[in-house]
Chains A and B, each alone.
Chain A
């Protein structure tokens, strides 16, 4: 199986450790992965903010870069959702029949990281060890967009020495919402305040999720408060091993 990584522009720039963790986990499971350097961005920011035509070249690029692979794996539920839900929409609205066909062919091969592990590779124990109290935040795109269900929790529960705790009102949005956090900063902050309270109430040392964007938001708020709770992409927890640096 030829596996390509779609690391996403945001992770590439801000959280390269997440990409390295994905590589570690997949290689540990015996798979060879590729990172096509021509990849950039899924176009989610443009699409969600109303700049649809500006996202079309990115859809076209995505289809060209990843078209030949058996599987495209991404550590972002929201970017996987963007490709799956909205690339077909953009291809139909703004582009050629060829791109529509290419997108339709490619979309079923695009997987969010935990989906790929559980559904495609059939793995729930990835051989990780992480001796911390961890809470999982189901981001809206994981929960209601991709319907990841309990896949992330199944993976986390199989991690050695990991104590998985629940967050109260876990399914409520953290208030990030991409440009929402900028355009409606006050409302976003009010939602963040409630989410931070839930995280602190859970007693977790580490908060993880399948999207670094929400973690950037929650982690940024916790950092501003001087909280010791760390935020980590769940891939980084799955990459951690006994005797490893974490």
Chain B
């Protein structure tokens, strides 16, 4: 049940998937504990910096500028990487990226690769594609390992196994590790140190054996051709240094112009994502160096819907995302439903604005509506992506793509009524009358049709017998107030 591209084929629309997720009390408890912890840590470390708001503004400005001249910076990156001894490949879509990576691995003669967490390879479904070509991809990020062992899907950008608790992970390790390599030790407990040790032993034999690694990238500096990965465990560093061949798959929006731009993001990212002042491991690599690290380096630049997104002047701000997941951790909807309900590699508020743009709004039409527009995500975003603005923008695109519908007709009718004080007054009288018929003690219980979801858990007061405008006309018009 692993990923198959940006959206998971056959996923139900958000409201339906959410309904199922909401039934899982364990999931909600896991999520609430995890998101609350990260949220509080993030607030604490962000408030330590006097210039936090200025940093956010700088980051947003760098991203805006980079997006405006993306073509130029990408060509500069290609040149810098090439000069440093690497090879750059351009992939227009998932199929092309998968083909490039598969051919590169085949050329080495190897049948297995180690991977360090990469959203881009999740997005293109690389692991499944490699498997079809007879190549096994081993995830080495602890959370990704948990997801892979469980034949599961990631549910969070930064903590893909956030939906699992320690006990569930222990059971998974005990049951599954043996079929992927070194089994879990006997009598494994759910202590974090014990779980980490089991993963370390399991992964170590893969690190030491692997000749090929596939990584993602958090940033790439156009000026120097340097690629950057930030992580917490050091597993990424093993993948980036031990194998002979390193293949990095990176979305084209990850480029930053200069090395000094990184300074801004390296302050914002760990604080926003894990609530740490600095991430434990920051790995940077520039092409190849004889006798040090991989002797072959390939950078695959992935478009896969990004230039189309860039063409949308409102929607393009979603490309500024640095995948910190702060928006997920503050989102009241995500906190209740978890990431799987979004049916996408990119869940939560950023997924709700990024996914429909990458795959087309028709394919993810329920996602822009999976938000109350509460604005918590915008406040938390370190690069100031106005997610509510993009959500309402995409809702309009969904409505336009759908064309005629019962809802569109109702909205049209409501628009006509609301553009006429006379019709509105008549509707108010009708509503008051209807309310009197439907209500008991001034409150309405069950409602028919599309409103039943609302009325399943809430009473509705009957509309007032006298609207404000009627009261005003009777009591104030031509009276003392004019």
Residues on A with C-beta less than 8 A from B457 are 185, 189, 192, 221, 224
Which parts of B446-480 form the interface with A (CB within 8 Å)? Answer: 450-451, 453-454, 456-461, 463-464, 466-469, 471-473, 476-477
Of the stretches B96-104, B182-190, B231-239, B329-337, the one at the interface is B329-337
Known: A46-B411, A192-B457. A176 touches B418 (CB 8 A): no
Does chain B have a CB within 8 A of A88? no
Give A182 to B453 CA distance when docked, in angstroms: 6
CB pair B396 A50 closer than 8 Å: yes
Of the stretches A27-35, A95-103, A109-117, the one at the interface is A27-35
CB pair B378 A144 closer than 8 Å: yes
Q: Looking across the interface, which residue of chain A has its beta carbon closest to that of B445?
A: A224
Which parts of A41-72 form the interface with B (CB within 8 Å)? Answer: 41, 43, 45-52, 54-55, 57-58, 61
Give A186 to B14 CA distance when docked, in angstroms: 11
Does chain B have a CB within 8 A of A216? yes
CB pair A184 B369 closer than 8 Å: yes
B421-453: contact bitstring with A at CB < 8 Å (1 yes, 0 no)?
Answer: 100100110010000000000010000001101
Does chain A have a CB within 8 A of B60? no
Q: Looking across the interface, which residue of chain B has its beta carbon closest to that of A212?
A: B461
Q: Which of B333, B453, B467 makes the CB contact (< 8 A) with A16? A: B467
Q: Which of B336, B372, B481 makes the CB contact (< 8 A) with A140? A: B372
Chain B nearest CB: distance from A241 CB in Å?
18
Q: Tell me if A's interface is mostly helix, strand, loop or mixed.
A: helix
Query: Interface residue count for B (Cβ, 8 Å)?
Result: 66
CB pair B379 A185 closer than 8 Å: no
CB pair A191 B476 closer than 8 Å: no
Does chain B have a CB within 8 A of A172? yes
Query: Interface residue count for A (Cβ, 8 Å)?
Result: 70
Does chain A have a CB within 8 A of B392? yes
Of the stretches A5-13, A126-134, A158-166, the one at the interface is A5-13
Does chain B have a CB within 8 A of A181? yes
Give A7 to B443 CA distance when docked, in angstroms: 22
Which parts of B1-35 form the interface with A (CB within 8 Å)? Answer: 14-15, 18-19, 22, 28
Residues on B with C-beta less than 8 A from A192 are 457-458
Residues on B with C-beta less than 8 A from A173 are 332, 372, 374, 376
Known: A15-B464, A186-B453. A37 touches B414 (CB 8 A): no
Known: A12-B428, A54-B415. A183 touches B15 (CB 8 A): yes
Q: Which of A184, A185, A189, A216 makes the CB contact (< 8 A) with B460? A: A216
CB pair A40 B454 closer than 8 Å: no
CB pair A37 B469 closer than 8 Å: yes
Q: Can you list 9 A-B pairs with a CB-CB distance of less than 8 A?
A: A16-B471, A20-B468, A46-B411, A52-B396, A173-B332, A183-B15, A186-B18, A192-B457, A220-B460
A residues lining the B interface (CB < 8 Å): 7, 9, 11-17, 19-20, 23, 27, 32-35, 37-41, 43, 45-52, 54-55, 57-58, 61, 86, 140-141, 143-145, 171-173, 175-192, 216-217, 219-221, 223-224
B residues lining the A interface (CB < 8 Å): 14-15, 18-19, 22, 28, 332-333, 336-337, 368-376, 378-379, 392, 395-400, 407-408, 411-412, 414-415, 418-421, 424, 427-428, 431, 443, 450-451, 453-454, 456-461, 463-464, 466-469, 471-473, 476-477, 481-482
